[in-house]
Structure 1
Amino acid sequence: MIGRLFTDHPRSVGESYLAHARTAARFGVAMLAGGAACLVHAVVPALFTRTGSDTVKQLHAQMRRRNATAAAEGSALVYEI
């Protein structure tokens, strides 16, 4: 039961637990940094004028590449977009 909490989802997207953890952590840090830039931008509009949207675009492009790689390898989609 406990193992399923840590392995079912990573396995369903063709990754080990550690590979999935690294990817999820990298995406999470990018989202936190982009979100922090958006909060600063909300207070001082002249700062970080593109950081939030650039972060979203970069993460979206990475997700599309992951899906394309998975499709080329005959795997199920890694993530839905």
Structure 2
Amino acid sequence: MKLFTRHPASIGETYGEHLAVAFGFGARMIAGGAACCLHALLPFAFERTGSQTVAALYAQMIEHRAARSEARRASEYGAFGEFDWAI
């Protein structure tokens, strides 16, 4: 069981959350790759689809990472956040 949960837990996700996110990323990569292959054959088709797919996936990954980091920070320090000083 740990084989399936170790990596998701290391990035703050459950197995199900990781499954959904990773599957969604993979499906979008396949679709973007197919568009690139078609573009190779038909240069007038899908001129920006590949680069737009990569940019969108990158933005989603960064946003997801930032949200996960913020949630982890909030759970560690509570509602008041992290302090650089103590009384």
TM-score over 0.5 for the alignment?
yes
TM category, shorter: 0.7 to 0.9
Q: 1:16-66: per-residue Cα shift (whole Å, max 9, x none)?
A: 101100000000000000000000001110000000000000000001101
> How many residues align structurally?
73
**TM-score normalized by structure 1?**
0.85
Q: How does 1:38-53 map to 2 (within 5 A)?
A: 38-53=36-51
Secondary structure at the residue paired with 2:28?
A: helix
From the two aligned structures, give the one with the greater helix fraction: 2
Match of 2:6 in 1: 8
Cα root mean square deviation, aligned: 1.2
Structure 1's unaligned 5+ residue stretches are: 76-81
Which one has more relative contact order, counting CA pairs under 8 Å at least 6 apart? 1
**TM-score normalized by structure 2?**
0.79
CA distance in 2, matches of 1:72, 1:17: 20
* Larger Cα-atom Rg: 2
Structure 2's unaligned 5+ residue stretches are: 75-87
- Give the fraction of aligned pairs with identical amino acids, expressed as a percent: 48
